[in-house]
Structure 1
Amino acid sequence: MKLHDIATGSRFEYDGQIFVKTGPLTAASENGGQRIIPRYAVLKPLDTGTPASAAAARGKLDKKTVLAAFDHFYQRCSPLVDSAALPELESARQRFIAALK
């Protein structure tokens, strides 16, 4: 199997090491460090089932955590914004919150 056939976030074996695909030509070793994987390299996939879904599940954030972080961000930014721009900032905040629902 070639690197372009493997979903980002999926694990594979190459050159006796275990990697996780991080980009179109790059992978992170489980031992640390990044490496460019040649296009000609033949890889052994290690993830079974739906690797893209597994990768997405590992990176999924809890909605409450996101809202709390954004609330903290908003509270810190509000005093820095000119009072004339506050309505636009609040509107952007409401759109962000609505997008999470």
Structure 2
Amino acid sequence: MPNTDWPGSDYEYFHGQTDGWCRAACLDDCLCAAAIYQNGTCWKKRTPLSNGRTDSIVQTTTLIKIRKGNSTLKPPGVDSENKDNSTLKPSGKKDRSSL
């Protein structure tokens, strides 16, 4: 997305960096939703990205982080196919006198 910015969403910035460094810095940061790169400066943006602006005078490179694929990683040893995902499970009869 060329020449786009979300003023006010910056939470970190770096001078003297490359666009590749800016891209990697955003990808490695779980809070970074987007990064703006312009002339050696990298601005990290957080969500929500609101009040965005596109202007040909700005001359920036905008990098938006998107999810790769539509899956989440499962912890080792978890087998989702055999897992009962119901929210309520019967627990058997209870004797009210023991409560």
Assess same fold via TM > 0.5: no
Whose helix fraction is larger, Structure 1's or Structure 2's?
A: 1
Higher relative contact order (CA 8 A, sep 6+): 2
Larger Rg: 2
TM-score range, shorter chain: under 0.3
Which TM-score applies when normalising by structure 1? 0.28
Per residue, is there more strand in 1 or in 2?
Answer: 2
